[in-house]
Amino acid sequence: MAVYGGGGINPQIQKLKRADIVVACPGRLLDHIGRHTADLRKLEVLVLDEADHMFDMGFFPDIRRILRSIPQNRQTLLFSATMPGEIRRLAKDVLRDPVTVKIGTTAPADTVRHALYPVAQHLKTALLLKMLENIHTESVLVFTRTKHRAKSLDKKLAVAGYRSASLQGNLSQGRRQAALDGFRDGTFKILVATDIAARGIDVTQISHVINYDIPSTPEAYIHRIGRTGRAARNGEAFTLITGDDRDMVRTINRIIGSEIEQRTLSTFDYSPPRPARNDRPQRKWKPRRNFSGVNKGRDNRPKA
């Protein structure tokens, strides 16, 4: 059974009484532990999946509280796409004499063609819309760096006539599930997501991945573009880059051992300058006055 927030807790309580395997989010599992509705005294196997992203999302204190509530005599498996120092320390704490299995992910799959598109920051959305005109939008996954940008870009795509949805941390569980289901069944042709929100997306027919914002690590780049080109299908991945992204581009090229092709779109106008800010003159500050017209503030005069 699945244990997560956003759903009714009473049905979970009933299912927990007879479940053999529980797949849980840390917060809701701690809730059940606190209510004594999850009996973990006979737990045999603990799996910590997506350990690096659980750390990014601040779940480590919850994980350590859960570890104090389960038997020491157990088998523990830890999975992580990357192994920064924090994850290594966690592994040392929770694993005893572990066997390490490492699968190399230093290069994109052969089924993925990928390219970089240099563009000024203020022209990103316009270039994205022009790119979407030139590709068959069978199923496109667009990555942004922030929740706000994912939500904003989804609205702009909808205004442009695309069937799109966003997947970001501010969504309720119901709306998140509706976005995923709609993307899987083709109701939505474009899904705009952040890295953390996109974790767990398993959609094999994604034709294109577009990085509206370049990811923060080479591993994240490889992981993102690996969402296309699955199940013996070919896929394409495009990344919009600005002048501020030069260092990350060099790092990605070094990690994968080759330079990613850089392209321009012949039908796109790269010349429009950044719009001037609408700087309205600021109003001068005026002291607030009380009913008698005297400035408010401390009255240090002697009292009568």
Tell me the per-residue pLDDT of 224-270, one tens digit each, with 9 for 90 and over: 888 888 766 788 999 999 999 999 999 999 888 889 999 999 999 99
pLDDT for position 222: 86
Per-residue pLDDT averaged across 88-111, rounded? 80
**For residues 6 and 31, what is the distance between their CA atoms, to the nearest angstrom?**
13
DSSP one-letter code for 244:
G
Query: Please, what is the average pLDDT of the chain?
Result: 84
Please count the CA atoms within 13 angstroms of the CA of 54 that sit on its side-chain side.
22
pLDDT for position 293: 45
Which of the pair, 138 or 19, is modelled with greater confidence? 19
Return the domain boundaries, the chain.
Answer: 2-94, 112-262
Quick one: pLDDT band at residue 197, thresholds 50, 70, 90?
Answer: low
Quick one: pLDDT band at residue 80, thresholds 50, 70, 90?
Answer: confident
- CATH number for 2-94: choose from 3.40.50.970, 3.40.50.150, 3.40.50.300, 3.40.50.720: 3.40.50.300
Per-residue pLDDT averaged across 47-76, rounded? 86
pTM for this prediction: 0.67
Amino acid at 192: V
Which residues lie closer than 8 Å to 239 by C-beta, 6 or more apart?
114, 115, 116, 117, 210, 211, 214, 221, 260
Percent of the chain with pLDDT over 90: 47
Amino acid at 3: V
Environment class of residue 172 by beta-carbon count within 10 Å: exposed (0-12), middle (13-18) or buried (19+)? exposed
pLDDT for position 138: 78
pLDDT for position 22: 96
CB atoms within 10 A of CB 105: 16
Bridge partners, residue 190, by sequence = 140, 164
pLDDT for position 259: 93
- CATH number for 112-262: choose from 3.20.20.70, 3.40.50.300, 3.20.20.140, 3.30.200.20: 3.40.50.300
